[in-house]
Amino acid sequence: MRKKGIITMAVRESAIDAFGRFLLTKRGGGVKTKIIETYSQHFHAISKHLDVRQEIAGMTAEDLRNMVISMQESGLSPNSIKSYTITLKAFLSWCNAEGITSLNMAKYKGEETIKETYSDEELSKLLQKPDMKKCSFAEYRSWVIVNLLVNCGCRAATIRNILIRDVDLPSRVIQARHTKNRKALVIPLCSQMVGVLREYLNIRGGEADDFLFCTEHGTQLTGNALRCSIADYNTRRGVGKTSIHLFRHTFARKYLVDCGGNAFALQRLLGHATLDMTKHYCEIYDTDLTKNFDKYSPLAQMKAGGEKIKVRQGRR
C-alpha cells in the first residue's frame, strides 16, 4: 500500500522493479523515446556499482556513497559519473513522490571541459563549394548542411526533421518544429544561407511535406546516415574532426567571440529552455576577458613602455 508522502515498509519492491515503473510513468507522460533510452542505459551502468536488486526502501545513503566510490575506482570520468547520478537523482525523486523512499542523490560535480571547436581554416575547407559538375548529391547535400550548421548551430535531430514547407526564404527563416524541448524554433537565415538553400531547393525538388535533407531516394536521413555523411565529407576535405555537434559549439564560440553576440540572443538561437547552457558557453568563451586585453595586460604595458623609452632615446 502506498500513500503519497508516506514511506511504507509493507512494499517490498526492488530498485530495478521500481525503475521499470519509473520508465513507464515517464513514457506515459510524453517523455521522448531517446531520453527513456538514455535513462535505461544509465541505469544499466549504475547497476555495475550498485545492487539494484535490493529493496528500494532499504537502500541507504552509504550505498550511494559506495556506488560513487566504485565508479571513481573503475576509472569512469567525472562527467560520466555526473550523468549517471543525475539519472539516479531523477529516479529517486520520483520514488520520493511515490512514497517508496525518502532517500535522494546528492549532486556530483563534473569536470569543466572546453571542447576544441572547428578552426577557421577547417571551416574554410568545409565551406568550399564542391564542383557541381562532378560531385554526388550526397556531397552537395553535406555541403549545404555544413553551411546551415555554421549559420545557426542547430542540432542533428533538427536537421533531419526539417520539412520543405518549414523553409521560408522570403522571410529568411526556417520554422523548426522538431526540437529537443519540443518547442517551435525559428532559425534565422543570413543572406548567404538563403542563396544556398534557394539553389539547393531547385536541385532537390520535392513536395512541401518532404524532408528538406533526404537520401538519394528521397527518404528521411537516419541519425547514423547523417553522421556518416558528414564524417565522410569532412574527411574528404582533409578535416580530422567529424562531429556534427561540434558545429554547435563552434557556432556558439564564433557568435560570442568573433561576432559580438549576446547570451540572450544565443539562448534563443540554440533553442535552450533556460540560460544555464548558454551561460556555460559564455563562461568558457568569455569575451570580456579577451576583449582589449592589451590595454590591461601587465606584459603588454611593460613592453609598450619599453618601446616608448627606446623611441625617446633614439630621438636624442
> Is residue 174 classed as helix, strand or coil in its secondary structure?
strand
Q: Is the pLDDT of residue 242 over 50?
A: yes
Q: In degrees rounded to 5, what are phi and psi of residue 2?
A: -125, 140
Give the β-pairing of 167-168 and 185-188: unpaired
The neighbouring-strand residues paired with 61 are none
Q: Are 59 and 47 in contact (CB under 8 A)?
A: no
In angstroms, rounded to a whole number, what is the distance separating the alpha carbons of residues 170 and 184? 19
Measured N-to-C along each axis, helices 276-284 and 263-270 cross at an angle, to the nearest 10 degrees, of 120
Least confident of 140-144, 229-233, 256-260: 256-260
Least confident of 25-39, 55-69, 149-163, 295-309: 295-309
pLDDT bin (cut points 50, 70, 90) of residue 73 is very high
pLDDT of residue 249: 87
pLDDT of residue 296: 58
Tell which wins on pLDDT, 53 or 265.
Answer: 53
CATH fold of 120-289: hpI Integrase; Chain A (1.10.443)
Secondary structure (DSSP) of 287-303: HHHHTTHHHH-HHHHHH
Q: Are 266 and 250 in contact (CB under 8 A)?
A: no
Indicate the residue type of 205. G
How far is CA 208 from each of CA 36, 56, 164, 212, rounded to the nearest angstrom?
Answer: 32, 51, 5, 9
Q: Are 105 and 50 in contact (CB under 8 A)?
A: no
In angstroms, rounded to a whole number, what is the distance separating the alpha carbons of residues 136 and 208? 23
Residues 187-198 have a mean pLDDT of 93
pLDDT of residue 62: 95
CATH fold of 15-98: DNA polymerase; domain 1 (1.10.150)
pLDDT bin (cut points 50, 70, 90) of residue 202 is very high
- Neighbour order of strands in the sheet with 185-188: 167-168, 173-176, 185-188
Q: Are 160 and 223 in contact (CB under 8 A)?
A: yes
| 229 CB neighbour count, 10 Å cutoff | 19
Q: In degrees rounded to 5, what are phi and psi of residue 59?
A: -70, 140
Indicate the residue type of 38. T
Residues of the chain with CATH 1.10.443.10: 120-289
Q: Are 147 and 170 in contact (CB under 8 A)?
A: no
In angstroms, rounded to a whole number, what is the distance separating the alpha carbons of residues 82 and 216? 41
Residues of the chain with CATH 1.10.150: 15-98
- Return the closest-CA partner of residue 163 out of 217, 221, 203, 216: 221
Least confident of 40-54, 177-191, 265-279: 265-279
Q: What is the DSSP letter of 256?
A: I
pLDDT bin (cut points 50, 70, 90) of residue 23 is very high
Q: In degrees rounded to 5, what are phi and psi of residue 307?
A: -65, -40
How far is CA 304 from each of CA 213, 294, 300, 313, rounded to the nearest angstrom?
Answer: 54, 10, 6, 14
Q: Is the pLDDT of residue 197 over 60?
A: yes
| 154 CB neighbour count, 10 Å cutoff | 24
In angstroms, rounded to a whole number, what is the distance separating the alpha carbons of residues 270 and 263? 10
- High-pLDDT (> 70) share of the chain, %: 79
| 182 CB neighbour count, 10 Å cutoff | 10
Global model pTM greater than 0.75: no
Question: For 123-180, how does the pLDDT look when each residue is reduced to its tens digit (9 = 90+)?
Answer: 999 999 999 999 999 999 999 999 999 998 888 989 999 999 999 999 999 988 765 5
In angstroms, rounded to a whole number, what is the distance separating the alpha carbons of residues 229 and 109? 36
Degrees to nearest 5, angle at CA 107 with 155 and 95: 90
Average pLDDT, whole number, for the chain? 84
